[in-house]
Chain A
Amino acid sequence: MNEKIAAYAHPDVLVSTDWLASHLDDPSLRIIESNEDVLLYDTGHVPGAVHIDWRRDLNDQTVRDYIGPEQFARLCSAHGITPDTKVVFYGDKSNWWACYAFWVFQLFGHRNAAVVDGGRAKWVAENRTLTREIPKPSTAVYPQPAARNDAAIRAFYHETLAHMQAAKPMVDVRSPGEFRGEVTHMPEYPQEGVLRGGHIPGAQSCPWATAANPDGTFKSVDDLRAIYQSGLGLNPTDDIIAYCRIGERSSHTWFVLTYLLGFSSVRNYDGSWTEWGNMVRSPIERSTT
């Protein structure tokens, strides 16, 4: 484990590209690529990596929700994952979707999981091997989890509203323009549709990318403390909700706060602005800063 990773609160959930390269043939691992770019995996991926798409594989296909325990067990089984398998996530966009997939796996209690620091971009930048060969792992036995445990790490609308009314800390990880209500969508980006702009009253703006270096790696623990503890005034024992537009960027921030800084109570409001900004009579604040 390198020095930077060792300094985080839970260093076991982050691996380096060096570590990954030396564990490609480790049968106790399953490497999972999870991207925004739906064809990126097909253009080449880390040898042995399987593909999990956030929308196809992790979202319920009818209701706006995540898959249930039965579907999760089926997904893991199909990818040769057992409850003992260490799942290692990486992906594009500085690991947005890798963190999102990691978060969904935590809803089902799959604790043996990690994210590759720097994600796909770092692996590619280091000229490491990519392949188009699709692995075909043998089907594994993954017992169906008893339940999906949303309560600890997922926030719903009514919980976020109560959180706001109690003036508890919230982090809006969208871009500054979205926070200020100047824009409700990004013209060059898939549009999930929202009717009102602004932010949840009382939320602090701290774009997700603040926690990432230009190469997609996470910033050092000291830098992260400076951002979230000194900068935003958050404490490790605070009850915190992070949100963005659909919960993917806030998964990144949830991962940072929970695992890299060791905060004990962080929830991801995955309904995020596409729910809040569309809900009739949702309180909304706009600001110029």
Chain B
Amino acid sequence: MAEHPQALKDIIDLCAGLAETERREMLISFADGAARQAPQPGESFDLEDTRKDEECTDTVGVFLRIDDARRCHFRITLGPQVQTLTRAMTTILCQGFNGASPETVLDAPADFVPQIVGAELVRLRSQTVYYVLGRMKSAVKVWLNRERAASA
């Protein structure tokens, strides 16, 4: 079983055992920090994946930089209509996977998500809570494919 990065473990530990009300407050606090995960002036990226769904939700942009030590650094932009849970997961995952290897991100089992957001919210909105994780993994997968192609 793949190990989660320490930063992600810390967030899991922080959220585990919280009562539902406290968990929701914690998630809203993470959601409030989502805007700070956007690209900063002067940053450059190895991969940018911005998509907009015209019908239901807003634009989500995933920006990935892999440094010389093959560590991942994510930035994410969210449109104003993106849901609160998605905003919360954006902060959690950007912080939790910061500095992780591409393989760690790609292989990360998603079972940590219910530990963070709680079984009730996963049951109510199962897809929403996994969305950002899926987008980040997709970005890493593309980067790894490019790396493999470049070395072939």
A contact set with B: CB distance below 8 Å: 36-40, 42-43, 53, 55-56, 93, 174-175, 177-178, 186-191
Contacts and interface: CB of A to CB of B under 8 A. Distances in A.
8 contacts: A39-B24, A39-B83, A39-B85, A175-B55, A186-B55, A187-B51, A188-B51, A188-B52
Given A39-B28, A42-B28, A55-B124, A186 B56 contact: yes
Contact of A38 (B25, B58, B121, B131): B121
A37 B84 contact: yes
Contacts of A177: 55
Contacts of A191: 127
Most buried by B among A38, A53, A186: A38
Contacts of B121: 38-39
A130 B152 CA distance: 57
B31 interface: yes
- Chain B's interface size range is 20 to 34
B116 interface: no
B84 A43 contact: yes
Given A93-B56, A187-B53, 4 more contacts: A39-B31, A39-B84, A39-B121, A186-B56
B31 to A, nearest CB: 7
B134 to A, nearest CB: 9
B128 interface: yes
Interface of B: 24-25, 27-28, 31, 51-58, 60, 83-85, 88, 120-121, 124-128, 131
A211 B27 CA distance: 34
A40 B56 contact: no
Contacts of B31: 39, 43
A38 B56 contact: no
A189 B56 contact: yes
A177 B54 CA distance: 10
Contacts of B54: 175
A246 B12 CA distance: 33
A101 B55 CA distance: 21
A188 B60 contact: yes
Given A55-B124, A188-B60, A190-B127, A38 B55 contact: no
Given A37-B84, A175-B54, A188-B57, A42 B127 contact: no
A220 to B, nearest CB: 24
Contacts of B56: 93, 186, 188-189
Contact of B83 (A40, A42, A53, A55): A40
Nearest to A53: B124
Nearest to B25: A42
A43 B55 contact: no
B24 A189 contact: no
Contacts of B125: 38, 55, 190
Nearest to B59: A188
